[in-house]
Amino acid sequence: MSDGENMRKSNYKNSGVKELLTERYANDTILLIATSNNNVPSVRSVDSFYYEDSFWIVTDTRCNYVKEIQENQKVMISDGGHNRFWCNAFVTGHPLNPNNESIREIFMKVFHNWYKEVNNEDLESVCYVKATPYKGYVHKEKIGYQFDISEDLVDTDNISHHIDVKLEPIW
């Protein structure tokens, strides 16, 4: 954040952060998820999207990070830039479980180009992970939003130390 002269406080509902997260992450997005095992952190990229206040991932219960989430629900999600989100994560179960019916429809829409080709729902180990931010930081157009949902607080500040960029693959 800057020197604090331009800092503004607001509540989460009226801050625009939820809309910004939806705008930025509602589509098929590669994000990083950090977990830990015995206080040893680990990070990997996952295909994800943001929907109804949470990041969603389709994966496999045999993955190390899923096992780590089952032991410790505290994770961090990041886009690899300055944006980062502290989340509570949990496995919601197999995509064909009745409780996942409505979110599966969203997965099919968001990942329409590859979902069925990549995810073999005949496997019992396929699962969804839901990661719900409780605090975080996101920026847009030289404005940074540091938020804490549990406190219903957003600190908004002008950013002077970097500019927003859209990272493009070099290949």
**Beta carbons of 78 and 34 less than 8 angstroms apart:** yes
DSSP tag of 70: H
Q: If we measure between CA atoms, which residue out of 80, 68, 69 comes closest to residue 29?
A: 80
Looking at domain 16-140, its CATH class is: mainly beta
**Beta carbons of 103 and 92 less than 8 angstroms apart:** yes
pTM of the model: 0.87
How far apart (Å, rounded) are the C-alpha atoms in residues 28 and 10?
30
At residue 14, does pLDDT exceed 70?
A: yes
Q: Kindly state the average pLDDT of the residues 61-87.
A: 95
Residue in this structure with the two tokens 């219960």, named with its chain if needed: 61
Per-residue pLDDT tens for 145-157? 899 998 999 988 8
How far apart (Å, rounded) are the C-alpha atoms in residues 6 and 13?
20
Query: Cα 169 to the chain's mean position, in Å?
Result: 20
